[in-house]
Structure 1
Amino acid sequence: MASITDPNMSDGFTSAMKEIHNKQLQTYEEMIDMMTDLYQSHRQFVKSAHDACLKKCKDDEMLFETIQTFKRDAVKKNTSLKGKRHAISEMISEIQQKEMQKDDIKEKIEKLQEEQAKRKELILSQNKANKDRLRNLQKARGVFQDHLGMEIRTILGKTQLVKGEKLQFVFRNINPSDQDSAYVVTMGIKEDGSYQIVSSDPALECLPVLESLLQETNNLASFLANVRKEFISQARC
């Protein structure tokens, strides 16, 4: 057995210890390098994760702001849409009212056209009736003025009752004691074309009856003849 004090033995031990120490140092260096790599990798991962989180936060903030903007725009659009719907509803209501007014105006125009046609027909009828009455007046004038001394005057009434142009039929040769004494009946034509007896001088109680008969027969000559008879009868009483 070798002694500890053996120089060869001592050198071998020292060499073995150095080898072991070098291996341990190498192992420590490798571990340190590994730890450094792990640290750098971890640091890089943390930085990458941090950057990713920051980016995610910014993206989320932008998304949130975009959502809020969309919400505000949606509220504005809804408000605008409600206003437009209300305006459209009012326009539709106004259009419907105008359509109704248009129908009413159209109906009124048709009624006015019908009334105008009726008035035109009435005017033509009245003109024809007035022409017939004028012919009757001319015939009566010829008969009574030429043969019985009757005078026809045109007068303009001063009262509301006889307002407008009227005719006076002046009879003479009625009273045997006074041939020039005048007996007068005043008449005109109403808007509907019928005769209107205004008055007589002297007054005849039967004048309304004679007027009614004139309205029925439209015979002016017969009416004037009957009036003359009544004046003669009254003058002889």
Structure 2
Amino acid sequence: MTSITDPNTSVRFTGAMEEIHNKQLKTYGEIIDTTTELCQSHRQFVKSALDTCLKKCKDDEILFEKIQSFKIDMQQNNELLKEKRHAISDVIAEIQQKEMQKDDVIQKIEKLKEEQIKRKRGLKNLQKARLVFQDHLGLEIRTILGKTQLVKGEKLQFVFRNINPTDQDSAYVVTMGIKEDGSYQIVSSDPALDCLPILESRLQETNNLPAFLANIRKEFISQARR
């Protein structure tokens, strides 16, 4: 066993202590280096994570702005769509109204055509009556313009003569006109005939003016001979 008083022992002890101290310093240095590397690695990781988060936040903000812009566009498009729907509804309603007006105009035109045809028939009957009565029986047809409410407008007077045997020139008169629908309207007779409403009703049914005038002449002759 080496003596503690041996100088070599002190040197060896000191060397051993220095070696242990150096090993500890080396270990500490390695720990410090490792810790430094870990700190740098952590800083880089944190910086990378922070950059990623910042980029993600920025992307999210851009996406949110796009979503908001899309919502605004959608709302504007919906408003425009509503306006267009209202406009289309108005156009459809206007077209339907014009179609109804067109149908109404067509019906009125057809009614006017029918009335014109009836008037032509009435005038044709008047021509026939004129040929039959005026040429053969001395019937005179006059056109008059009524001034009273009862005979307002253009009317016709049928003047019969050769009725009264004692006075061949004595005039027997029937005044009548043609309504808008082409039917005949008896205004008056002179002298008055009690059966005039019946004869007018029959004329309305048959539209036979010559027969009506023949019946009127018979009634005038019958009345003159009483």
* TM-score when normalising by structure 2: 0.72
SS of the equivalent of 1:170 reads: strand
Which fold has the larger relative contact order, with Cα–Cα distance below 8 Å and residues 6 or more apart in sequence?
Answer: 2
1:29 aligns with 2:28: no
**Aligned twin of 2:184:** 195
* Distance change (3 Å), C-alpha of 1:183 and 1:127: closer
Report sequence identity in percent.
38
Per the TM alignment, residue 53 of structure 1 is displaced from its structure 2 partner at its CA by 1.9
1:130 aligns with 2:122: yes
- CA offset digits 1:154-173 (Å, max 9, x no partner): 11122343333211112345
**Aligned twin of 2:150:** 161
**Aligned twin of 2:32:** 39
Distance 1:219 1:130 in 2: 9
Runs of 4+ that moved beyond 6 A: none
Contact 2:179 2:185 in 1 (8 A): yes
1:51 aligns with 2:44: yes
SS of the equivalent of 2:142 reads: strand
Distance 2:103 2:204 in 1: 34
1:207 aligns with 2:196: yes
**Aligned twin of 2:172:** 183
Gap regions ≥5 residues in structure 2: none
Distance 2:36 2:207 in 1: 131
Equivalent residue runs for 1:1-237 within 5 Å: 13-71=6-64, 73-78=66-71, 80-81=73-74, 84-85=77-78, 87-88=80-81, 91=84, 95=88, 109=102, 113=106, 115=107, 118-119=110-111, 122-123=114-115, 125-126=117-118, 129-139=121-131, 140-145=133-138, 150-175=139-164, 180-235=169-224, 237=226
* TM-score when normalising by structure 1: 0.70
Distance 2:92 2:116 in 1: 37
Gap regions ≥5 residues in structure 1: 5-9
- Aligned residue-pair number: 222
